[in-house]
Structure 1
Amino acid sequence: MAPDFGKGKVITILSVDGGGIRGIIPGTILAFLESKLQELDGPDARIADYFDVIAGTSTGGLVTSMLTAPNKDNRPLYAAKDLTRFYMEHAPKIFPQRSHFLSSVVNFLGRVIGPKYDGKYLRSLIHELLGDTTLKQTLTQVIIPAFDIKRLQPVIFTTIDAKWDELKNPKLADVCISTSAAPTFLPGHEFQTQDSKGNIRKFDMVDGGVAANNPTLAAITHVTKEMSLLWHRNELLNIKPMETKRMLILSLGTGAPKNDEKYSAATSSKWGMLDWIYHGGAAPIVDIFSDASNDMVDYHISSIFQSSNHKKNYLRIQVG
C-alpha cells in the first residue's frame, strides 16, 4: 500500500461495478465528482489523487484503468470527464446493432454457437488506450477481479501483488480485456506473464463479474489483508486490521432496472436451457447472477458499517 497506509489515516476506497455500456452511469458520477474536486483544488485534480484504492470489475475495470494509468508526466492518462465521451463514441462499435429481425436471429444463433460480439474492436481499442503499461505502474492501488476458467477460480489483479511478483504483473490491457470478457457476450482472453528467471504463468480468463460484479468487498478484503500484515509486523500500532472508522468507501453501481420486472416465476418455469441463456434480447442467467451478487455485497457491507456505528463511511450509489 501507500507509505502512510499504517499511520492512522483514513483509507479511501472507490469501487465501480460491472455492467457493459452502463459504465456510462458511474462515468457521469465520477465526472461530476472530479469537477467539484477541481473547484476546490484546481484544474489538475484527478480522481486517482483522492482514493488509496480503486476497484473495478468488467466495465468498471476499464474505468479503473483509464483513471489510474499514467501518462508521460506520470499523471492520470484520462480525466473522469473523458469517460462519458469514451462510451458515447466507442460503444456502438464495441456492441454493434443490427436490424431488429436480423438481430434476433443472429443473437439467438450467436448465443448457441459463439459469443454475441467478436470483441476485436474492444481489444484493439484497449491496447491502443493502455499500450504497454503494466499493472504495477498504476498511480494508485487498483483491484480488478477476473475469473480463470481453466482453474475455475477467481483471480484478483492488484497493484500491490504486481509490485512484489513479476508473474502477477501483466499488461493493464490484458487485465482489462480479461475482466470484460462477459460469457455469451464476448470471447475469453488468454495471455501469459514471464519473470526474470524465465518462469511462465498462463491465464485463461473470463469476466470478473462471474465472481465479483460488485468489487467493493474484494477491495475491503484486500485492505484488511494489508492492514493485518502491518499489524503482525508491529507497523500498525494501536489499530485493529478491520476498523470501519478508518475506511471511507464510495461504491458505484451501473444501474439496476428492477422496476422493469422483465422476468417472472410463471414465465421462467417454462424455460429450457436456451431460454435462460437468451430471452427477449437479454441473458437472464447473467442478469440474475450479477444483480444478486451486487445486492448481496451491498447488504453485507452496509450491515457491517451500520453495526459498527460508521454507516456514513459507506456510500452506495445505484440507479434503480
Structure 2
Amino acid sequence: MSELENLDQLRHNNTNLRLTDRFDLFAGTSTGGLLTSLYLLPDKEDKTKARYTAQEVFEFYKEFGPKIFRLTPLQIIKSGGGLFRSRYDENVLYEFAKKLMGETYVSEVLKDCLITSYDMSSRKALLFSRYSCGKYGDGADYKMYDIARSTSAAPTYFAPSYIKAKDDTSRHLVDGGIYANNPSMCAIVESMKLWPEEPFEKLMMVSAGTGKVEKPYFYEQTRRFGYLGWLVPIIDILMSSVSETVDYQTRQIFALSNNSHSYFRIEPLLTGCDTRMDNASKKNMVALETAAQSYLDHNFHVLESIVENFTKA
C-alpha cells in the first residue's frame, strides 16, 4: 500500500496525498486490522489529516515485528512452546499499539472503517466501525489500540483481549480471522449500509491480501494422515480457501454489476519465504520484501490502473 500511495503522489505531483484522501471505507482483519487502524489515525495537530504515511506504517512493521514475535526462554517454558498457553507475550503487541495510536477512539478516525474480531463470550462476530458509534453510541466506541489488540489476538499466538467501550461495556475477543480473514464481502455490505443510495457501479475496491501460498499436499502423503498429521494442513487449507472463496464471490459481484474493472486484488506469490505469521526474522523479512517487489515488477500496471481510477472518481 505504501507503493500505491507513493505512485499516487508522484502521478499527481502532491506529496501530501494519503490513502485516506482516496478511499471512503477501510476494512481489515488481523494484520489488516492493524494497518487499517494506523492508516486512519488523525494527526495530533490537524485532525483532518492522516497521522502516518503508508511508508511510515511499513517501517513500523519492520521495527516492531521482531519485537512482537520474540520468543524468550522464559516464554517458551511458560507456554510450553505454545502447547499450554499462548506462545507470545501479548503485552508487547499492546504497547506497540498504545505507543503509535495514543488515546484515539474509533469514533474519531478519519474515514469509515470495518475491523473484525470475534466475541468468545457471546459467540458472535464483532465488527468495529465508526458507523456503529453513531448508531449505538458509547457502547460501540473503543480505543483504537484496544481494537488493534483484539483484531490481532490470533489463537495460540496471543491471549484473547479483554477490553471496555467508552460506557464500560466489556468484551472478550479474539482475531477476526477465524471467520473473516478476507473481509471484502463484509466491506461491500458495510458500504451498502453507509451509502444506500449509491449505485454499485460507482464502487471501487482494492483488496490487499497477505500473500498467496502454493504448497501442494500429495496423495501419498495425505492418505497416511491422522489427527496430528491433518492439524497443520487443515488450518492452512481452511484459511486460504476461505479467502479465495471471498475473492471469487467479490469478483463475480463486480462482474455481474458490469463493474469488473473497478475490483483490484493484490496478492503476491510468496516464493522463497517462510509463510508462518510469526517468523519475523531479518532473513524472512527480506524474503517477504523480495516477493512483494517481484509482484510489483510484474504487476505495476495494477497500481497504475488504481491511481487512474482515483482520477475518475
TM class by smaller structure: 0.7 to 0.9
CA distance in 1, matches of 2:100, 2:170: 23
3-state DSSP of counterpart to 2:244? helix
Residue in structure 2 matching 1:204, options 154, 157, 172: 172
The answer to whether residue 290 in structure 2 is matched with residue 290 in structure 1 is no
Q: CA–CA distance in 1 between the matches of 2:149 and 2:218?
A: 33
Residues 117 and 125 in structure 2, CA contact (< 8 A), matched pair in contact too: yes
Q: For this pair of structures, how many residues does the alignment match?
A: 265
Matched, 1:319 2:231: no
Inter-CA distance 266–166: structure 2 relative to 1 (3 Å threshold): farther
Which amino acid in structure 1 is aligned with residue 7 of structure 2? K
- The equivalent position to 1:247 in structure 2, one of 174, 192, 203, is 203
Query: Residue 160 of structure 1: CA displacement?
Result: 1.2
Partner residue of 1:94 out of 57, 64, 68 = 68
TM-score scaled by length of structure 2: 0.78
Cα pair 1:61 1:180 within 8 Å, conserved? yes
Equivalent residue for 2:24, pick from 52, 68, 80: 52
Q: Identify the residue that residue 123 of structure 1 maps to in structure 2.
A: 94
Offset at 1:83?
Answer: 2.4
Letter of the 2:161 partner, please give it. H
Aligned counterpart for 1:153 among listed residues 104, 124, 142: 124
Q: CA deviation at 1:218?
A: 0.7
- Shift in Å, 1:225: 2.2
Greater displacement, 283-292 / 129-138: 283-292
1:239-265 superposed Cα distances (whole Å, 9 cap, x missing partner):
5xxx4311000000110211x32x445
Alpha-carbon shift at residue 194 of structure 1 (Å): 4.0
Match of 1:111 among 51, 72, 82: 82
Give the C-alpha shift of residue 273 in structure 1. 4.4
* Higher RCO, Cα 8 Å, sep 6+: 1
Instruction: Give secondary structure in 2 for the equivalent of 1:110.
Output: coil
Secondary structure of the 2:165 match is strand
How far apart are residue 151 of structure 1 and its match?
Answer: 1.2
User: Which residue type is aligned with residue 223 of structure 1?
Assistant: S
Structure 1: runs of 5+ lacking an equivalent: 1-29, 229-235, 278-282
**CA apart distance, 1:189:** 0.2
Report the counterpart of residue 50 of structure 2 in structure 1.
76
Task: Report the Cα offset of residue 150 of structure 1.
Answer: 1.2
Quick one: which of 24, 39, 43 aligns to 1:67?
39
Supply the AA of the counterpart residue of 1:43: T
Distance 1:119 1:286 in 2: 22
**Cα offset for 1:187?**
1.1
Q: Given the alignment, which residue of 130, 139, 157 partners 2:110? A: 139
Per the alignment, residue 185 of structure 1 pairs with: 157
Q: Which amino acid is 1:209 matched to?
A: G
The code of the aligned residue for 2:205 comes to I
1:309/1:106 CA distance change after superposition, 3 Å:
farther
CA distance in 2, matches of 1:269, 1:224: 45
Deviations 1:119-154 (A, max 9, x none): 221111111111110001110111101111111111
Give me the TM-score of the superposition, normalised by structure 1. 0.76
Is the counterpart of residue 307 in structure 1 residue 278 in structure 2?
no
> Taking structure 1 as reference, are residues 82 and 286 closer, same or farther at Cα in structure 2, changes over 3 Å only?
farther
